[in-house]
Amino acid sequence: MEEGELIKISDLIKVKVYDREGLHIGHVQDLALEGDLSTPYLAYLGLHLHWTDRVGEFELVRPVEDIVLLTPWSQVQDIDEDGIRLNCVHPDIPIVTAKGKCLMRRDVLNKQMLDAAGNRIQRVDDVFIEREGKTLKVIGLEMGLGWLASSSSLQNLMEKLKKKFGGWQDKEMIPWEAVLRIDDDAVVIGEGPE
């Protein structure tokens, strides 16, 4: 996983997660942005823990298995092909609420893309991210083969997006800047305000 290399979100799902002491504690379930989409940098890791007997500061009555928690990205110490290492020790893993967060797998991957007028474009085939040091930045949405069968209105939209977001050349990808908002069941794409 080189600096600047494009990675797909689906390739990171199920990647193993280790704690500071090297204990395999679970796998990646999701990756999240701030809900207001103010920054394209992933701010949270959705962690599927094999088990835990503590959630945040709360001791549980008995250990639970297969629990998914959201931990701040600041807890990530290192990422490579073998897995993600945290800088905390299981089960003392800081957690944050999932409320109001934009989870890439839950809310974006495979969801319907709509234009600003509500017309269906196609589904999100994948999400491209790029490594910048210890952080991961969302770059765009993969269009896949759907682009080949797209309507003329979509082609017009893509041309407009291309003009507006200069430097973006890959027509199989919609730049993240073109995402206006994430609705309950759809990703809304458009040129945005002039």
Shortest Cβ distance from residue 177 to other proteins (Å)?
Answer: 21
Shortest Cβ distance from residue 185 to other proteins (Å)?
Answer: 7
CB-wise, 14 or 163, nearer to other proteins? Answer: 14
- Binding of other proteins by 119 (CB under 8 A): yes
- Binding of other proteins by 121 (CB under 8 A): yes
Report how far residue 61's alpha carbon sits from residue 88's, in angstroms, rounded to the nearest whole number.
22
- Binding of other proteins by 185 (CB under 8 A): yes
CB-wise, 12 or 121, nearer to other proteins? Answer: 121
CB-wise, 10 or 77, nearer to other proteins? Answer: 10
From the list 53-61, 64-72, 121-129, 161-169, the region that binds other proteins by CB under 8 A is: 121-129
Burial of 130 (0-12, 13-18, 19+ CB in 10 A): middle
The count of other CB atoms within 10 Å of the CB of residue 90 is 21
- Binding of other proteins by 123 (CB under 8 A): yes
- The residue whose two tokens read 């290492």 is 85
Angle at alpha carbon of residue 10, lines to 191 and 64, rounded to 5°: 120
- Binding of other proteins by 171 (CB under 8 A): no
Site string for other proteins, 78-117 (x = CB under 8 A): --------------------------------xxxx----
Shortest Cβ distance from residue 69 to other proteins (Å)?
Answer: 16
CA distances from 61 to 52, 57, 64, 72, 80 (A): 11, 13, 9, 25, 35
Residues near 24 by Cβ (< 8 Å), separated by ≥ 6? 16, 17, 18, 50, 83
CB-wise, 25 or 179, nearer to other proteins? Answer: 179
In the complex, the residues that contact other proteins under the rule CB under 8 A are: 10, 110-113, 119-123, 125-126, 144, 146, 149, 151, 185
